Amino acid sequence: MIDYNEIRDVARADGLVAALLLLHLRCGGDPVYGPAGHAVLPASIAGDEPPLLTLDLYGDTLVAVRGRGVPSREWSLGLAWLRLGLSEGLLGRCLSYLGARTAGDSPLLVQQLVKGQLAEAVTEHLLIQGVLHEELAAEALDDLHLQITLADRMLLRLLGGSGFRADGPGQSAHVSELLADAYTGTAEVRT
Amino acid sequence: MIELDDRLSALRDHAREWAGELRPLALELERDPELIHKHLELPGVSFLARTPIPAEYNPDPVTIGGHRFHGTGGLERVTFCEEFAAADVGMLLAAPGPSLSGVFVALLGDEAQKEWFFGRLLERPTWTFFALTEPDRGSDAAALTSALTTAPDGETLLLSGTKRFIGNAARADLGVVFARTRPGPLGVIAVLAETRDPGFSATPFPTVGLRGNQVSEVSFDRVEIPADRVLGRHLSPTRRGLAGAVAGFNRLRPGVAALGLGVARGAYEYVREHRRALTGDERDRLDRLGRRIEGVRQLVRRAALALDHDDPSLGHLASAAKARAARLAEETTLEAVGFFGAGARLEHPLLDKFVRDARGTEYMEGTRNIQWLNVFQGLSQGRLRHG
Ligand SMILES: Cc1cc2nc3c(=O)[nH]c(=O)nc-3n(C[C@H](O)[C@H](O)[C@H](O)COP(=O)(O)OP(=O)(O)OC[C@H]3O[C@@H](n4cnc5c(N)ncnc54)[C@H](O)[C@@H]3O)c2cc1C
């Protein structure tokens, strides 16, 4: 039985790679592939197959690769908790950024538009957390992933241009989206 | 409905053809933005290198079907911006040319400055940069701290400070920099700077999308600015500086809005091209996307016409168009991914690129919140309710 809160906490505090390694470890240690056979994982635990894509994240390297295998239920739920934890970590970054940055003489954090947008994002987090439970149907889980992506997008906008740098939290959110891409959706190749 | 006349339809058709040649190069250019140097001869890139330049300064404009194009008109600009962005917004932002700076030079420069600046651009493909944003001040540009002090000769100015997110700065020859000569709103002025001068340095940093733009951190360390490179010397202090920045941005925003619109259209067309056997439900969803794109296109064109007609509501309409188009780009690209199965973004790198590029349209020329505040101003001043 996986401790999903542990995954979420590690994601929030230590970031994507640490949490992803932990999730792999808790799910048996082998690479896990999504419904259409894609994995996004730290290069350190990937095999030798040539990657579809290589991604840098805070000095770590991640790769996207093809392979085979159906993700377990634990993996799928764990990934949603992981992405929620990352989104919560992103919220923390927004609070620090907006608290330190000013418009005129006051911090951006006190602008009412900004307050409202932060409130909206945290409300999404609360909502997602409230429905993320063991019995969730696969489709509902996919929907939650999209909601996490949308919450991330609200937060990224609040980071201004710094949220678009590939050497900052915007890259983590991008890799988080690619995780959702690899591990949710239908297996069939649509034409 | 705002439709294109024969002249602009001809431009649109050509731009679509040119942009079509750029699209196969999109992923390569993303990996290595320096490849733009190999593509300077392509008609699309060469068009961008020579527009917008006001007619008085360009005796030899691009001619299509007997029509002359300077790239300065609002509707003209949004038409080609949409076409390029629907193919690859990265190439558009990587291209040499007057780009953002050209608009400010046209607006604030005196005769000699315009001749110098546009003359340089017509000599050969030349990149320019536009530097307003600083590491600690983005939206609140009025609080910028880059400083212009007077050199010992009593005339030359010395520019010192740091700018961030400056597109193309590392490959530019010249550009426009906003900096301050003294505290207060009227202390901000714009100057023309040359990147070969001692004290200038630009270091690109990586971004999630729009990589062709090669945004950089720029530092100025006592860069000499001759007195005749101060833009708007012939204008009153209330019309150059920050007021000039606002006026310039108002003119630029319809074009930036068209970039968001184009990115959205690119993703939509990608689905149409790659998903042929749609279910009924999917067809409805796709049709809905198509209608939303057309709606935003009308909004963007309305802002563009406000520019062409010197309409006082230009600033507000342009902000509405920019904010709405950035949202359209984000929403449409994410929805487009949903038309494919798991791993869509890994199997369809061009689609993934549209999704990443869309995120960047939010920040260019001001974020959504700043645009909304501007739209509200228009609303409260009664400039948006009718017509
Ligand atoms: C790809 C790209 C290219 C760029 N090119 C250039 C360029 O060539 N030249 C240049 O000078 N700049 C350029 N920029 C910078 C861009 O103009 C800034 O990123 C933008 O103005 C936002 O500033 P910021 O990033 O400092 O965000 P911040 O100002 O820190 O904003 C953070 C958040 O606070 C919100 N906010 C700020 N003030 C308020 C307020 N008063 N009320 C409510 N909300 C508020 C914002 O909406 C945002 O959500 C570029 C940026 C990108 C991403």
- Residue B342 has its nearest CB partner, among A164, A177, A187, at A187
Nearest CA to ligand 1 atom 30: A160
| Euclidean distance between CA atoms B378 and B387, whole angstroms | 13
| Euclidean distance between CA atoms B326 and B258, whole angstroms | 9
Percentage of the residues of chain A whose pLDDT score is greater than 70: 98
Prediction ipTM score = 0.97
Q: Contact, B76 vs B8, CB < 8 A?
A: yes
- Give the distance (Å) from ligand 1 centre to CA of residue B364: 7
- What per-residue confidence (pLDDT) applies to A189? 63
- Give the distance (Å) from ligand 1 centre to CA of residue A1: 45
**Could you tell me where the DSSP H helices lie in B275-313?**
280-308
Residues of B in contact with A190 (CB under 8 A): 275, 277, 339-341
Q: Does the residue A190 lie in any domain?
A: no
Nearest-atom index, ligand 1, CA of B365: 17
| Euclidean distance between CA atoms B217 and A17, whole angstroms | 28
- What per-residue confidence (pLDDT) applies to B386? 65
- Give the distance (Å) from ligand 1 centre to CA of residue B367: 6
Residues of A in contact with B343 (CB under 8 A): 34, 36-38, 181-182, 185
Q: How far is A114 from chain B (nearest CA, A)?
A: 8
Per the structure, the count of domains in chain A is 1
Q: Does the residue A188 lie in any domain?
A: no
- What per-residue confidence (pLDDT) applies to B236? 87
Question: If you compute the radius of gyration of chain B from its CA atoms, what whole number of angstroms results?
Answer: 21
Interface residue of B359, B367, B368 to substitute, partner A, most A CBs within 10 Å: B359
Cβ within 8 Å of residue A60, ≥6 positions away: A17, A42, A43
Cβ B167 under 6 angstroms from ligand 1: yes
Domain CATH for A127: 1.20.140.10
Nearest CA to ligand 1 atom 38: B139
Q: How far is A172 from chain B (nearest CA, A)?
A: 10
Nearest CA to ligand 1 atom 23: B138
Q: Tens digits of per-residue pLDDT, A119-160? A: 999 999 999 999 998 888 888 999 999 999 999 999 999 999
Domains of chain B: 6-123 (1.10.540.10), 128-240 (2.40.110.10), 242-380 (1.20.140.10)
Q: Does the residue A189 lie in any domain?
A: no
- What per-residue confidence (pLDDT) applies to B250? 96
- What per-residue confidence (pLDDT) applies to B303? 98
Per-residue pLDDT of chain B (387 residues; tens, 9 = 90+): 999 999 999 999 999 999 999 999 999 999 999 999 999 999 999 999 999 999 999 999 999 999 999 999 999 999 999 999 999 999 999 999 999 999 999 999 999 999 999 999 999 999 999 999 999 999 999 999 999 999 999 999 999 999 999 999 999 999 999 999 999 989 999 999 999 999 999 999 999 999 999 999 999 999 999 999 999 988 888 888 889 999 999 999 999 999 999 999 999 999 999 998 999 999 999 999 999 999 999 999 999 999 999 999 999 999 999 999 999 999 999 999 999 999 999 999 999 999 999 999 999 999 999 999 999 999 999 988 765
Q: Does the residue A15 lie in any domain?
A: yes
Residue A12 tokens, joined: 């929030």
Q: Does the residue A146 lie in any domain?
A: yes
β-partners of residue B67 are: B64
Domain residue limits at A103:
4-183
- What per-residue confidence (pLDDT) applies to A191? 61
Is it the case that residue A172 has pLDDT exceeding 80?
Answer: yes
Cβ B138 under 6 angstroms from ligand 1: yes
Is it the case that residue A190 has pLDDT exceeding 70?
Answer: no
* Alpha-carbon B99 to chain mean position: 7
- What per-residue confidence (pLDDT) applies to B387? 58
* Alpha-carbon B331 to chain mean position: 21
- Give the distance (Å) from ligand 1 centre to CA of residue B139: 5
- What per-residue confidence (pLDDT) applies to A47? 87
Q: How far is A35 from chain B (nearest CA, A)?
A: 6
Is it the case that residue A186 has pLDDT exceeding 70?
Answer: yes
Q: Does the residue A74 lie in any domain?
A: yes
